[in-house]
Structure 1
Amino acid sequence: MTQPAHEHDAKTPAAPQASSPPPAPDTAAAFLADRLPLMTRYVDALCDTGVSHGLMGPREVPRMWERHVLNCAVVHPGIARGAHVADIGAGAGLPGLVLAIARPDLTMTLVEPLLRRTTWLADVVEELDLPNVEVVRARADELWGQRTFDVVTSRAVARIGELARWSLPLVSRGGEMFVLKGSSAAEERDEDEAVLRRLRVRTAEVETWGEGTVEPPTVTVRLTVDGVAPQLTRKQAGTIDKTKQKPSRRPDRRA
């Protein structure tokens, strides 16, 4: 799996129609307390321009709180107070914007290579007046040697091994990578053990968050490194570069 290249403008189908946002569940009010009004405005944006700009599917609107926002919000106790955090492949701000809203003590950098996404993110950050958030249009590996962070997060971006190859070189000494994953997190971690070993991973702990607040609970993998992770190429990491594989002879069925 490869990271997406920078986006080029292209003709796209008509934008899907946005739907009315669902009300915040009682569990959101209990968990977010005084941050709930700001998070509600973010959910409104996800259900409106987030859908019309193609960042979220219209079918996700009814479950925006439980499946997406609370799924991300419940992990914030796992991040140290005052941490500098980078969210890799930030997309629509899940989990980066959610964490920045829930935790104003965090300094959040949203790293995303696609122009339409960074434009949307910057607009939402300005609209919500979030001084603790910056938006950076880049691939993770473009920041190697330039930026480091206490914590690097991501959600639904890639397999753990490939994501670790992109992200761990951005983790400062003593920091960690904190990945939101599904129920197969432990299996995926074990399957990618060889890559993690080459990246000097010391611990890879699977953790569960949000029981009683979100169903199913959120599963994360927390990686720490001995010293600083090396900047590995795909060949060095032993991963497959799909861009160099022979093209399929099947017709291109993309829209």
Structure 2
Amino acid sequence: MIKKIPLEHILFLDIETVPLTPSFEDLEPASQILWEQKSKYQRKEEFTPEEFYDRAGIWAEFGKVVCISVGYFTTKGGQRSFRVTSFHGDEVTILKDFKSLLRDHFNQPKHLLCAHNGKEFDFPYIARRMVINGITLPYKLDLFGKKPWEVPHLDTMELWKFGDYKHYTSLKLLANVLGIPSPKEDMDGSMVRDVYYEEKDLDRIVTYCELDVVTTAQVFLRLRNEELLMEEEIKKI
């Protein structure tokens, strides 16, 4: 079925997130208590709330978006290309700019959003942060009242599950087993918090995020048994 979806109708995306504040001590006292309660089951007895706070970015209630990278296919004169761009910096600006992209260019029923583990992380995270920041949800993220087949989301991890709900496969592992050339990454997701707060190197995070968008598109192509993107087909805009 996925071979029937025109590639031009899909917006591929990835997000990078960090804790709301550089450290646990920077949280308001009430938020510190709530974090202790929220993280209790994940950290168990192995970590204190303070020690576990560097992972707070994975929860929308205690994290924020620092980058959304997107990519989409275009065909001109029979030549395929994959265009990649990013929204980064202030979270409210990121979310509003991303919403504008959806509104202006990906607002038709035929348009779909695609991310790796997007249904569990990227899509709900963006939606929650929009609500927290007082931004009205765009149609593509407002799922209230939609039937499952009306949700305009694709997830490469879900496609790889083939109905196995217990199975988790990272994007890096999936790319490896599908024979997709590994991009030259100098970081991984566990490093984003330190790169953002300690090194203050947002450009490095943006590059990492964009590489994941390209890899997600490559995985989608392999799932369709189509030719992978060549380096010259990938355009940064």
> Is the TM-score greater than 0.5?
no
* TM-score calculated relative to the size of structure 2: 0.31
Greater relative contact order structure (CA < 8 Å, 6+ sep): 2
More helix by share: 2
